[in-house]
Amino acid sequence: MPNDHDVSAFRRDFPLYANLDRPLHYLDNAATAQMHQSAFDAMRRHDTQARGNVLRGNHRLAEAATEAYENARAGVARYLNATTVEEIVFTSGTTAAINLVAGAMGYLLRPGDEIVVSLAEHHSNFLPWQRLQEQGVVLRVLPLTSEGRIDMSLLPAIVGGRCRLIALSHASNVTGAITDLVPVIAAARAVGARVLLDGAQYVQHGRPDMQALGADFYVFSGHKCFGPTGVGVLWGRREALAELPPFMVGGGMVGRVALRESTWAEPPRRFEAGTPPIAQAVGLGAVLDWLVGQPWEQLRSHEEHLFERLLAGLRNIPGVRLLGPADRRERLPVVSFNLGELHPHDVCQVLDERHVALRGGHHCAQPLMEFFGVAATVRASLAAYNDVADVDALLAGLEHARQVLA
């Protein structure tokens, strides 16, 4: 076991672990990670010392709120290595961010234009594009390899001259498989299409570099990366955002409103109608500032060690079927599996009785479930605060479930 990552010290900065009154082996991090103390502190400080609405306020609290909100935007920009803070749009989460891009692009697309997705997408990165079919947009779907990775060999056949956007997950929320982005970016550039990446799963496990990835849009949620719920981010390349009209309209995103026509503010304000999630954004900015300073190589090494132990243990349990790639290469520490014919919900309930928190269901990825020939799976997902005891409790719990549910 590597000694360079002190899990006990790491956990002390997560209030859930500091306040436990019973054992907990939390392995549902792909759904929601636990919140770091820095986010709690920043939100409490904001709401007790600087609670006001942002923009246009002439009093002290409004000015303090605006400053805190814009500092949070700068924190997100640092974490993503964005070119400028104007590329950061706050939303309520990944789903809202994708719907924002889809809704705005819907005003620009014409019948026959094409959007490319894959069979591996979360519903949030599938349904907004599927819905555009109602106005004549063509949805083209990249198939998968037998392991559940996106089959990049078929990119030339699917990404054609009418393609306007390729929208893919940076990493699967079911298998953890990381998407090979090099051929995706090349295929999009060859036809002048934009690229959107759903980074909801990736951001907890590493810093995505917007200047290196080559995408045009990147989206994620605060609650996936040790931050608060109710806030998310749309990063958009400056010229890509400038092309889009607003999706939601209202206060705060206008230039001038007249009876017959109105003008819109420049990005990012154009896409932040109404009162934004101010306190949540402040909390997210704080936790991303904390993440910037983390020893990422140590954290990755720790997660990889645990994941290897988890995969090896699962393979040794009779009846377990693992979905996705056979090893941990180019994967996040996320694994979905079935235990014989046992229903995933029953398995998760038995494990919960033994203080192991898992996720059971189709994980908002029904096309992917259909590809694998299952209706649902059990999913375990690791974070940097997990340890060997968490993995071993899961493995022992599955052996117990085989006995009590047989």
Q: If DSSP codes are grouped into helix, strand and coil, which group holds residue 197?
A: strand
- Note the pLDDT of residue 57: 80
Q: How far apart are CA 104 and CA 197, in angstroms?
A: 16
- Note the pLDDT of residue 264: 95
- In CATH, what number does 40-292 get? 3.40.640.10
Q: What is the 3-state secondary structure (H, E, C) of 118-153?
A: ECCCCHHHCHHHHHHHHHCCEEEEECECCCCCECHH
- Note the pLDDT of residue 340: 95
Share above pLDDT 90 across residues of the chain, in percent, rounded to a whole number: 95
Confidence of residue 48 (pLDDT cuts 50, 70, 90): very high
Catalytic residues: 364
Average pLDDT, the chain: 96
Length reported for the chain: 406
- Note the pLDDT of residue 208: 96
Query: If you ran DSSP here, which 8-state letter would residue 275 be given?
Result: S
Q: How far apart are CA 233 and CA 215, in angstroms?
A: 15
Q: If DSSP codes are grouped into helix, strand and coil, which group holds residue 327?
A: coil
Which residues partner with 28 through β-bridges? 381
The overall pTM is greater than 0.85: yes
Confidence of residue 357 (pLDDT cuts 50, 70, 90): very high
Domain boundaries, the chain: 7-30+296-405, 40-292
Helix, strand, coil in percent for the chain, rounding step 5? 45, 20, 40
Q: How far apart are CA 10 and CA 387, in angstroms?
A: 11
261: amino acid identity, one letter: E
- Note the pLDDT of residue 1: 43
7-30+296-405 is a CATH 3.40.980.10 domain:
no
Q: Which residue has the higher pLDDT, 20 or 36?
A: 36
Q: Which two tokens stand for residue 75?
A: 């924190």
**Is the pLDDT confidence value at 2 over 70?**
no
Buried/exposed code over 382-401 (b: 16+ C-beta within 10 A; e: otherwise): bbbbbbeebbebbbebbeeb
**Is the pLDDT confidence value at 328 over 90?**
no
* Residue with tokens 């550039």, as numbered in its chain: 189
Q: How far apart are CA 284 and CA 77, in angstroms?
A: 12
Q: What tens digit of pLDDT does each residue of 257-271 get?
A: 999 999 999 999 999
- How many helices (H) and strands (E) the chain has is answered by 15, 15
Hey, do 7-30+296-405 and 40-292 end up sharing a CATH topology, with the first three levels equal?
Answer: no
- Note the pLDDT of residue 326: 85
- Mean pLDDT for 368-383 is 98
Query: Do residues 167 and 99 make contact, with C-beta atoms less than 8 angstroms apart?
Result: no
Q: Which residues contact 3 (CB under 8 A, 6 or more apart)?
A: none
Of 27, 33, 42, residue with least CA distance to 72: 42
